[in-house]
Amino acid sequence: MHRSAFVLVTCLLLTIGRTNATAQRQGTSKSVILFEGARLIVGDGRGPIENSAFLVENDRFSRVGTKGALQIPEGATRVDLTGKTVIPALIDAHSHIGYMKNLTSGSQNYTRENILDHMYRFAYFGVAASQAMGTDFGVLPYQIRDELLAGKYPDAARFLTAGRGLSPIDEISPTNMRHAAYVVTTEEGARASVGELAAQKVKIVKTWVDDRGGSVKKLTPDLYRAIIDEAHKHNMRVAVHATGLADAKELLRAGIDIFAHMISDVDDELVALFKQHPNTAVLSALGGPRRAIYAPWLNPPHSLVAETVSAEQIKRLQGRFPERSPDALKRAQDAWDRLARGIAKLNAAGVKIGVGTDGGGQQGDQFIGWTMHTELENMVAAGITPAQVIVAATRNSAEILGLDDLGMIAPGKSADFVVLDANPLDDITNTRRIGNVYLRGRQIDRAKLRAGWTGRP
Ligand SMILES: [Zn+2]
CATH number of residue 379's parent domain: 3.20.20.140
CA of 357 to the centre of ligand 1 (A): 8
CA of 9 to the centre of ligand 1 (A): 50
> Does one domain contain both 240 and 348?
yes
Task: Using the predicted structure, report yes or no on whether residue 269 has a pLDDT greater than 50.
Answer: yes
> Does one domain contain both 96 and 193?
yes
**Residue-by-residue DSSP string for 66-82:** ETTTS---TT-EEEE-T
CATH code at position 425: 2.30.40.10
Task: Using the predicted structure, report yes or no on whether residue 413 has a pLDDT greater than 70.
Answer: yes
Flag whether 407 is in a domain. Answer: no
CA of 333 to the centre of ligand 1 (A): 21
> Does one domain contain both 120 and 222?
yes
Give the H/E segment covering residue 55.
Answer: strand 52-57
CA of 296 to the centre of ligand 1 (A): 23
> Does one domain contain both 390 and 305?
yes
| pLDDT confidence of residue 428 | 98
| pLDDT confidence of residue 376 | 98
> Does one domain contain both 416 and 385?
no
CA of 97 to the centre of ligand 1 (A): 10
CA of 133 to the centre of ligand 1 (A): 6
Flag whether 228 is in a domain. Answer: yes
CA of 262 to the centre of ligand 1 (A): 11
CA of 211 to the centre of ligand 1 (A): 15
> Does one domain contain both 153 and 185?
yes
Flag whether 70 is in a domain. Answer: yes
DSSP state of 354: E
> Does one domain contain both 81 and 121?
no
CA of 443 to the centre of ligand 1 (A): 30
CA of 266 to the centre of ligand 1 (A): 20
Which residues fall within 8 angstroms of residue 127, CB to CB, at 6 or more apart? 89, 90, 91, 92, 157, 369, 372
Task: Tell me the pLDDT of the chain averaged across its residues.
Answer: 91
CA of 453 to the centre of ligand 1 (A): 25
CA of 184 to the centre of ligand 1 (A): 18
> Does one domain contain both 125 and 188?
yes
| pLDDT confidence of residue 11 | 39
> Does one domain contain both 17 and 106?
no
Arithmetic mean of pLDDT, 88-92: 98
> Does one domain contain both 168 and 93?
yes
| pLDDT confidence of residue 398 | 98
CA of 31 to the centre of ligand 1 (A): 39
Task: Using the predicted structure, report yes or no on whether residue 171 has a pLDDT greater than 70.
Answer: no
Which of 151-160, 183-192, 241-250, 315-324 comes out lowest in average pLDDT? 315-324
Between CA 380 and CA 385 the distance in angstroms is 6
Flag whether 61 is in a domain. Answer: yes
CA angle 18, 19, 25 (to 5 degrees): 135
CA of 95 to the centre of ligand 1 (A): 6
Out of 356, 382, 401, a domain closes at 401
Q: What is the pTM of this model?
A: 0.92
| pLDDT confidence of residue 286 | 93
Between CA 371 and CA 373 the distance in angstroms is 5
Arithmetic mean of pLDDT, 156-167: 96
CA of 96 to the centre of ligand 1 (A): 6
Arithmetic mean of pLDDT, 151-161: 97
CA angle 384, 387, 393 (to 5 degrees): 85
Arithmetic mean of pLDDT, 80-96: 98
Flag whether 162 is in a domain. Answer: yes
Flag whether 406 is in a domain. Answer: no
Task: Using the predicted structure, report yes or no on whether residue 22 has a pLDDT greater than 60.
Answer: no
Greater pLDDT, 410 or 455: 410
CA of 204 to the centre of ligand 1 (A): 13
| pLDDT confidence of residue 325 | 85
Between CA 389 and CA 397 the distance in angstroms is 11
> Does one domain contain both 128 and 275?
yes
Greater pLDDT, 187 or 25: 187
Arithmetic mean of pLDDT, 130-138: 96
Flag whether 24 is in a domain. Answer: yes
CA of 164 to the centre of ligand 1 (A): 13
Total structural domains in the chain? 2
Domain containing 324 equals 89-401
366 close to 288: Cβ distance less than 8 angstroms: yes
CA of 170 to the centre of ligand 1 (A): 15
> Does one domain contain both 260 and 284?
yes
Flag whether 325 is in a domain. Answer: yes
The closest alpha carbon to 314, from 302, 328, 329, 323, belongs to 302
CA of 181 to the centre of ligand 1 (A): 13
